[in-house]
Structure 1
Amino acid sequence: MPDPRRPLRIALLGCGVVGTEVARVLTGDADELAQRVGAPIELVGIAVRREGRRRDLDVPDDLFTTDAMALVARGDLDVVIEVIGGIEPARGLILAALENGASVVTANKALLAEDGATLYEAAEKAERDLYYEAAVAGAIPIVRPLSDSLAGDRVTRVLGIVNGTTNFILDAMSTTGAGFNDALDEAQRLGYAEADPTADVEGFDAAAKAAILAGLAFHTRVHISDVHREGITDVTAADVRSAAEIGSVVKLLAICELGPSGEVSARVHPAMIPDSHPLASVRGAYNAVFVESEGAGQLMFYGPGAGGAPTASAVLGDVVSVARHRLAGVRGAGETVHAQHEIVPIGRARTRYHVAIDVDDRPGVLSAVAQAFAANDVSIKTVRQEGHGDDAQLVVVTHEAEDAALSATIDRLRDLDMVRGVSSVMRVEGVA
């Protein structure tokens, strides 16, 4: 147990947008944080890639070091904050911090989704905390509600908008009628998208968060490879218009579900969601997570999902909790994976679908299309025809069906001589 008369020593790994905000609060609000923790806190080192880089921080120059491993291995640290991101060197530094007696606060969703088991096991062995509220949805408190507040309940579904870049792009497409490329250009101009937006628009970022959320919600280890992933690069202005025609909007959703037989599925993909659903009103770069449980019912957590100050808020909340534990000589709850449910592939996931089919405008087409759906046990809810002649299109909305059945239906449709193409397939979520 730390001596209550000495400050709790904190090291910071990374001093980018988030790290700078964390350092600013740790130093500028040290007295207030000390009151919340119950003991003084002291920032004793900041690991950076390059020394001498100009930073908007009022801290002594000798706090900065490029030797991150030496910093975490010094042996007298109480808390190490990791906001470097990526897999390495972050993994090695976190493991070294735990081995040398420090608890760890991290915002590293990619590492947790890729190799969280190694980190959890190291924290358990070291009898130290591993906290990561900032790894999912920025400032929104969702990790602790799932792991603590709902620990006595049975969560059945987590449905979330967990990437601000993609939500901004899709919202712009919906409100302005812009195509994907124009909306992406605007997101980059305003700073909502990186110069290389691949991690966001292809769904990698959201998939990492979905793995973390599924693991927490269902007490089962979920690796990022278990998460089905689709991005938004193929979403067209026509898709967005079609969603509006059925009273819906298109969102990139992270969906984690506990099935009726205890199976777990986790997926990320664009989907149509009804205007009446709370997630439909999430605009711009904001995030929201919708949780369904047997006892509490439906809960929604909403707020800024990225940015320096919002993410730093989540980091510092964890720092206060971990520091209190160090002062009391205890640790918080570790990984809970007692359930270890079967994780099933996307083919077994069930949802509704919106399918646009380009067809010849001649007798028998509708019957043949309906037979293709029926042959794979996919029930049609509504069907409408748009256009005539060469521009004829059937728009089908199905009842709930397995993903594998819908995929087989699409293959069968493409084999029909009167079908010129299946121009769009999009899942429909959030319908009672």
Structure 2
Amino acid sequence: MSDAFDPADPAAWQSRGRSPEHAAAIAAAWRTFPDLPSDAPLSDRMTRGRERIAAMRSVNDAIAAEAASQREATNFAFTEDQIRRGLGSDRDIAIMRGHEDHALSWDLANRYADGWYAAHVGWPHHYSDAIPCSAPLAERHAAYDQGFSDGGGDRTDLFDAARRSLIADMRRDNLPKDPQIILAGRPVPSSYPKPSDHHRPARWSRRLLIVGADHIDSDPAWDFLALTLARPGADAATIVVLTRGGFVAAEALGDANVATPSVDHVAAANQLAALLQNREYDDVLVALQGADLDLIDTIGHILPLARTMERTRNSRLQQRTHLRTWLDRGFSGTDAAAQGHIRWGKAITSLYGSLGEFTARHVGPAPGRGHLVRVETRSGLACGFATADGTPLDPEIAVSSKAKLRGTIAKTLRTFGAATRLMAAADRRAA
């Protein structure tokens, strides 16, 4: 304790939030059992501490009881306010009924509400002993039984559960509403899922990317437009950039236009419609965030309905990862790529993926530098496969860094999945 704090002074405890009665009792315990000098025997000082704790036990119990009482009062007041404002449920009403009609505490009122609600909706009688509760088990069961009876349950009736279930099904608020014709709306871009490798690859000529000006950076590692155009064949895709003047095509982008958009919704809708007219797409990615995403949500009806519609989200690092996942699904159409869902897994420290009969796994360091990825089938190493033009495929691939493992494994699996098995020399002679 510092010199400024005197535990024997009630004012010191009142300044720390204690009530006058509690502060006086704590200070009296410190005056009766003060600290012994530091040169006193250790056993005597420990005995003095235990005596002071024993003297304050009644005060601590009273403080705990008062805190529990205030917490219960706050819970009941909140529940009552919810009911008054029309936001409470049937169970909230049952909690207040158990408190007001049977003077139950908060925990027991909740057990009462459990029993009442079970009877009200037609459930069988069942004690919820797994729910934490400070009350004794017998009191919990009694409160549940009381609520079950008040809710219309009768444990002596063999057909009680069936009767209550039928009544609950016929209750007016449970009956189906009048049939209405619901028109399915076009999904807004903010509801699009994040990109994944579950979807089959799409030709670059049938892909649409909408990127914001805030994702165009002088650093090529964070420039979404540069990352996209670095992929072979990506120049055939439709890339639209949301700039200060609205939506423009990537090839017509100027440095003066790269800023926060200030165009209104009508002009933005007209610009986007002009850029997308007479085009069909299989794959759409919206790389917009914040106010840009709100803008395209407003004019989302302009976007085409495609087989796959996704958007980037969360942190900037995750957005770049989502973009790379989307870019990995693009191909020019000259190379064959297998479709289907890649099943990913991790055994200890090795990442692996499976597609069809092929499994590509990271097996450790590659000879020299990098990491080795090996493609296998059920019969062993995937040897004897070639692309459509007859180029043999190597079942062992070296990857420069672990950050490129997932993308390399996905690309390798789709390449092998679309490959042709070459006949062995003996098979060719026999043929």
Higher RCO (CA 8 Å, separation ≥ 6 residues): 1
Same fold per superposition (TM over 0.5)? no
Bigger helix fraction: 2
Bigger strand fraction: 1
Larger radius of gyration: 2
The TM-score with structure 1 as length reference comes to 0.23
